[in-house]
Structure 1
Amino acid sequence: MTVKLYSSLLVVFLTNTVWTRNIRPMSDEINPYEQFFYSSECPQECFCPPSFPNALYCDSKELKEIPPIPARIWYLYLQNNLIETVTEKSLMNATQLKWINLNNNKITNKGIEKGVFSNLKSLLYLFLEDNELEEVPAPLPASLEQLRLARNKISAIPGGAFSSLENLTMLDLHRNELLDSSLQSDTFQGLSSLIQLNIAQNSLTKMPPILPANVMQLFLDNNSIEAIPENYFDAMVKLFFLRLNNNKLTDKGLPSKVFNISSLLDLQLSHNELTKIPAISVHLEYLHLDNNKINTINGTQVCPIPIPGDRVYESSLPRLRYLRLDGNEIKPPIPFDLMLCFRLLQAVVI
């Protein structure tokens, strides 16, 4: 996997705004009949731009309920309102919906009519961030590709909530109230296409049990995780980005080869309780260890291969390019054997 691919994926999955609109060229003329049809069908509380006939903007209108949504709508924007309920009556005609943004409302689980989302067979993106949900809403449509539930009060995930979501590529549950007991061995079963999983800023003390094998980006920062089980990542053969900042990891809690993952490119372990640099793979490119308790560096021990001699091909060298160690107890200069090992380093922060 190249750095170019790594950067592209970060752009795709870490961006907060995703454009997937079916944009109609501004040069297209709309005949008077279409103009009348779109205007008369548009809910009076909302805005229906003639140039985007599949989009409906009802955001930031102080709405307390969802108005009846026309059948032609694909993209529905309802964020920043006072909506408490999601009913089948409001969405019964909107069978072509692909995108619903309900961020920053007052929606509770009791306010979501059972089956209202699962009836939307074409739905790809569902945003319910900054609401008052206490558990993951279920059932959900099998078509779903992104589910964003950040900044709610979620402490429970109903059994089988994700079992039919084989198309889901992104699941965001950060800043909720998940405990270790909230995650069972089969919680993520069925998420065979999942690429990004974000469970940061919850109340976990252990690593989640049995994660999907195809996950490429895993966010577990700002929990209280103390240890990682041996061989935990063995089945995750595509994992290239792992963030465990702001936990309670210690040297004792890290098995010797737990991060020896050939696919891993970026490992973040900042703000933990480590006293030494953990063993890494020869393929790792970015390592963040700032604000731990590390006081010495032994380059020979840290090097994932024997210290290379003078005549060695670049392709055989460890790939580490960035190493961050500030906020520890390390004093310059940088050990010479560290530089002999990691000859591709472009930046070391101490």
Structure 2
Amino acid sequence: MHTENKSFGSRRVCKMKALARLVLGLVIFDAAVPAPTLETISYDSESYDAALEDLDNLYNYENIPIGQAEIEIATMMPSGNRELLTPPPQPEEVEEEAEESTPRLIDGSSPQEPEFPRVLGPQTSEDFPTCLLCTCISTTVYCDDHELDAIPPLPKNTAYFYSRFNRIKKINRNDFASLNELRRIDLTSNLISEIDEDAFRKLPQLQELVLRDNKIRQLPELPTTLTFIDVSNNRLGRKGIKQEAFKDMYDLHHLYLTDNNLDHIPLPLPENLRALHLQNNNILEMHEDTFCNVKNLTYIRKALEDIRLDGNPINLSKTPQAYMCLPRLPIGSLV
């Protein structure tokens, strides 16, 4: 009886081992099917038990609980058949993102024109965009020290333009055409000797004009919106400034005309003028009504506090009535 029970237990253990091997083989086979393999594995009825025996010896599954083995195997992801977590962007989305990320420094052309000139400004005569040849920051264009011999085409929303230390010889009437936002022009240290009559007159927002250190002999008509004018160190002579050129510039605060060939003070001067620099010219005389109103002795010109007449062949002591309305005396020779 004892022998029979022992034999029955042995057969039962063998059956359980066979069943466990079969279950493990099915689980492993199911996990291995989707994985890529270098060569096809085939099983037949004769070698199936041998394959299970080899797997049993290799992984020693007798010491691992069946449930744990199933969980570990089930959590493995086949490396050859993984799906993307997020779908790739559609072509339209890619185009929209690229358009939004494109930098636009200055819009110098209409929307129908290509993107290249919109970003880098209009083309110059050298086939370079202005903002590639110069430097454009927001509405300011810097073209200093680039050996330019002409004003480059500027983006339409340019407000501040600097082109100092170049070789520009002439300012044409179309150089600043349609630049309705232009407020400051600085062309210091060029070779400018000629300016067309309409070069500045039609600029509705122009406030500051700097043309110092050039070869200008005559100023064109200027817009009445100017608040700051510097034409120092040029060649302005007797006819270099039109009569009553500054009369209607009610907001003009600073007028610098030093180092020219002027022989008179350009009158009348705006009431709000604060600084008038005329040193190093050829001014010989001054009238009593140059700054004051001789018919109104109570008149006081409060704004004009800075007058420079030194370096001129004029004796300021000969016309003392001309300064009675000023808060300060002009700087110049009293002998």
TM range (shorter): 0.5 to 0.7
Identity, in percent, stands at: 21
CA contact (8 A) 1:115 1:138 kept: no
Match of 1:240 in 2: 227
Aligned residue in 2 for 1:331? 315
Residue in structure 2 matched with residue 343 of structure 1 by the alignment: 326
Q: Is the 8 A contact 1:194 1:215 kept in 2?
A: yes
- Cα deviation for residue 207 of structure 1 reads 3.0
Q: 2:102 aligns with which of 95, 106, 122?
A: 95
Unaligned runs of 5+ in 2: 1-98, 107-113
Q: Note the residue ranges of structure 1 that are not aligned, 5 or more in a row.
A: 1-91, 100-113, 122-132
Given the two structures, how large is their TM-score scaled by the length of structure 1? 0.54
Superposed, which structure 2 residues align to 1:81-230 within 5 Å?
Answer: 95-96=102-103, 118-119=118-119, 137-138=128-129, 140=131, 144-157=138-151, 161-162=153-154, 164-166=155-157, 168-180=158-170, 183-208=171-196, 209-211=198-200, 212-229=203-220
1:154 and 1:115 map into 2 onto residues whose CA distance is 25
Q: Distance in 1 between matches of 2:139 and 2:318?
A: 46
Residue 290 (str. 1) matches residue 274 (str. 2): no
- Computed over aligned residues only, the root mean square deviation of the Cα atoms, in angstroms, reads 3.4
Residue 194 (structure 1) shift: 1.2
Q: Contact 1:295 / 1:329 at 8 angstroms: preserved in 2?
A: yes
What corresponds to 1:41 in structure 2?
none
Counterpart AA for 2:234: N
CA shift in 2, pair 1:153/1:115, >3 Å: farther
Distance 1:299 1:270 in 2: 22
1:178 Cα deviation from its structure 2 partner: 0.7
Report if the CA contact (8 A) 1:221-1:243 is conserved: yes
Q: Could you say what secondary structure the match of 2:317 adopts? A: coil
Q: 2:237 aligns to what?
A: 250
- Structure 2 CA distance for partners of 1:347 and 1:191, relative to 1, 3 Å: same
Task: Please report how far the alpha carbon of residue 150 of structure 1 lies from its aligned counterpart in structure 2 after TM superposition.
Answer: 0.8
Once the two structures are TM-superposed, the CA of residue 296 in structure 1 deviates from its matched residue by: 2.4
- How far does residue 288 in structure 1 lie from its aligned partner after superposition? 0.4
Question: In structure 2, how many angstroms separate the alpha carbons of the residues matched to 1:213 and 1:311?
Answer: 37
Q: Describe the SS at the equivalent of 1:338.
A: helix
1:273 aligns with 2:225: no
| Contact 2:323 2:329 survives alignment (8 Å) | no
**How many residues were matched structurally?**
218
Report which of the two structures shows the higher radius of gyration computed on alpha carbons. 2
